[in-house]
């Protein structure tokens, strides 16, 4: 009896084992066929749809080809055809109009300057209805007011294609040569100026700052905001209606930067730079300690810089410490023949794979997600660099406004300050220029109110 029970028990165990093996084999077979089925379904879906080629007007070179390929892998029947445009607002608008007149309209465009000029000419599709029914997009968490600068009169004219933060880029070798240590992330504008003076050695052709308009375009308005002299970048007031450039406090900021050239000698004027062969207009030459850079400069630094470089956040001001951001507008054109497919490209920008790709290239993630925040630590670009400065830009951002401010493309603040800082023109030029634009933008606002 005992032997019979033992035999029966052994047979039962063997049967169970065989059933488990059979179930596993079946599961593997199903899994393999499911995977193949998914791939086949994807291929079948692509074959069942007519191929679509989206014309995207862009000022980038082949930098984004990887992203185009990622999108095509997700939507095999859709291909992005980038059309490079060299020029500003008028060049892009003329190209849009010319392609539409030829019967081969563009579908998407990056926008330079004033979105309202495109809107006035009827070139932009309202993105709000598309986004309202986009289930994938609705699940994303975005910063408060993320689309505010690209919406007007209830219409969403564009989305930020990429969030580009900027930093002070540092030549650590030049600092070390002059006995200066890498500053901490909470350094001040006074620290910045003092270090620029310390590392300047005109006999050796070495200077604190690259002769670059970026210090006028980025550093100076950042200082005004951080010191509490203007609440927004470009010296705009709280409601983004008037320029504060001609106020005494902001004009003192302009004098402050001018003194890097006229008093400290830590930055050269355009004329002085040209006399020296314009070597100091290129940070990668290694002759300057500080430059301002974003994702556009990082690939060059990796390939060309013959020195140890790193980044620092913009200095801390009297009331706050901010980082400078630009959000390039991406718009769907009203003349597109493939609007649903073109919107898929817009929606794709907020998917995890696209967001990670942008982080890898030095941009910020637009979507708020712990996985994306943690991903910064994994990016090869930032290994061995001041990664905490990168993370700071997610929480202290000021975004350059202007896309939907009437007449912003006519606001001449950059050229005026360039002339003062780099060419020694009188600071009094600021006042009539600012007053003229303040009046112009108010008039344009009234005109928009009267439009149907």
- Judged by average pLDDT, the poorest of 82-86, 359-363, 380-384 is 82-86
* Whole-number average pLDDT of the chain: 89
* pLDDT of res. 328: 85
Question: Which residue, among 253, 260, 246, has the nearest Cα to 228 in the 3D structure?
Answer: 253
For residue 432, pLDDT beyond 60: yes
Q: How confident is the model at residue 18 (pLDDT cuts 50, 70, 90)?
A: very low
Please say whether the beta carbons of 208 and 195 come within 8 A. Answer: yes
Q: Which residues contact 304 (CB under 8 A, 6 or more apart)?
A: 284
DSSP 8-state code for residue 154 = T
Q: Which neighbouring-strand residues pair with 347?
A: none
Q: Give the torsion sign (CA, 314, 402, 67, 127).
A: positive
Report helix, strand or coil for 430.
helix
CATH number of 48-163+327-382: 3.40.190.10
Q: Which neighbouring-strand residues pair with 309?
A: 171
Q: How confident is the model at residue 149 (pLDDT cuts 50, 70, 90)?
A: confident
All CATH 3.40.190.10 domain ranges of the chain, comma separated, are 48-163+327-382, 167-324+389-450
Q: Give the torsion sign (CA, 449, 450, 451, 452).
A: positive
DSSP 8-state code for residue 240 = S
For residue 10, pLDDT beyond 70: no
pLDDT in tens, 46-76: 557 899 999 999 987 778 999 999 999 999 9
Integer Cα distance of 227 and 353 in angstroms: 38
Q: What's the average model confidence in pLDDT over 133-137?
A: 92
pLDDT in tens, 319-357: 999 999 998 899 999 999 999 999 999 999 999 999 999
Q: What's the average model confidence in pLDDT over 236-258?
A: 97
End-to-end CA distance of the chain: 98
The CATH number of domain 167-324+389-450, selected from 1.10.3720.10, 3.40.50.2000, 3.40.640.10, 3.40.190.10: 3.40.190.10
Report helix, strand or coil for 56.
strand
Structure-token pair, residue 250: 């902001």
Integer Cα distance of 269 and 418 in angstroms: 10
pLDDT in tens, 218-235: 999 999 999 999 999 999
* Cα-trace Rg, the chain: 28
Q: How confident is the model at residue 27 (pLDDT cuts 50, 70, 90)?
A: very low
Sheet of 309-312: strand order equals: 207-209, 288-293, 167-171, 309-312
Q: Which long-range contacts (CB under 8 A, 24 or more apart) does 212-217 make?
A: 212/281, 212/283, 212/291, 212/292, 213/414, 213/418, 213/422, 214/291, 214/292, 214/293, 215/257, 215/260, 215/267, 215/292, 215/421, 216/257, 216/414, 216/417, 216/418, 216/421, 216/422, 217/414
């Amino acid at each position: 009896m005992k032997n019979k029970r033992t035999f029966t028990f052994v047979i039962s165990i063997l049967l169970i084992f065989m059933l488990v093996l059979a179930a596993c084999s079946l599961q593997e077979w199903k899994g393999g066929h499911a995977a193949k089925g998914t791939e086949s379904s994807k291929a079948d879906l692509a074959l069942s749809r007519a191929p679509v080629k989206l014309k995207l007007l862009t000022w980038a070179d082949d930098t984004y080809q990887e992203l185009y390929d990622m999108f095509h892998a997700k939507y095999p029947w859709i291909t992005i055809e980038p059309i490079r445009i060299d020029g500003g607002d008028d060049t892009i608008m003329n190209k849009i109009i010319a392609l539409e007149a030829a019967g081969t309209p563009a579908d998407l465009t990056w926008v330079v300057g004033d979105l309202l000029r495109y809107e006035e000419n009827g070139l932009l599709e309202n993105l709000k209805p598309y986004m309202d029914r986009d289930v994938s997009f609705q699940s994303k968490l975005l910063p408060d007011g993320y689309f505010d600068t690209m919406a007007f009169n209830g219409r969403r004219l564009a989305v930020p294609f990429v969030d580009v933060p900027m930093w002070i880029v540092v030549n650590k070798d030049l600092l070390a040569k002059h006995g200066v240590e890498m500053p901490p992330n909470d350094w001040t504008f006074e620290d910045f100026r003092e270090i620029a003076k310390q590392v300047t050695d005109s006999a050796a052709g070495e200077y604190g700052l690259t002769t670059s308009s970026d210090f006028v375009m980025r550093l100076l308005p950042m200082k005004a905001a951080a010191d509490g002299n203007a609440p927004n970048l470009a010296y705009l007031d709280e409601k983004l209606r008037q320029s504060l450039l001609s106020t005494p406090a902001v004009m003192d900021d302009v004098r402050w930067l001018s003194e890097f050239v006229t008093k400290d000698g830590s930055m050269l004027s355009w004329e002085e730079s040209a006399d020296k062969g314009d070597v100091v207009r290129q940070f990668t030459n290694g002759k300057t300690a500080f430059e301002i850079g974003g994702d556009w400069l990082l690939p060059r630094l990796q390939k060309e810089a013959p020195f140890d470089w790193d980044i620092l956040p913009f200095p801390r001001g009297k009331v706050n410490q901010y980082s400078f951001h630009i959000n390039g507008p991406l718009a769907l054109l009203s003349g597109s023949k493939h609007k649903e497919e073109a919107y898929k490209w817009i929606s794709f920008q907020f998917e995890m794979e696209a967001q990670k790709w942008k982080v890898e290239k030095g941009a910020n993630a637009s979507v708020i997600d712990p996985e994306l925040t943690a991903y910064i630590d994994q990016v090869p670009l930032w290994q061995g660099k001041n990664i905490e400065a990168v993370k700071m830009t997610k929480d202290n951002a000021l975004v350059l406004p202007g896309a939907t401010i009437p007449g912003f493309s006519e606001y001449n603040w950059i050229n005026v300050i360039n002339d003062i800082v780099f060419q020694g023109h009188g600071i009094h030029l600021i006042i009539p220029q600012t007053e003229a634009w303040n009046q112009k933008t108010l008039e344009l606002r009234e005109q928009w109110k009267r439009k149907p």
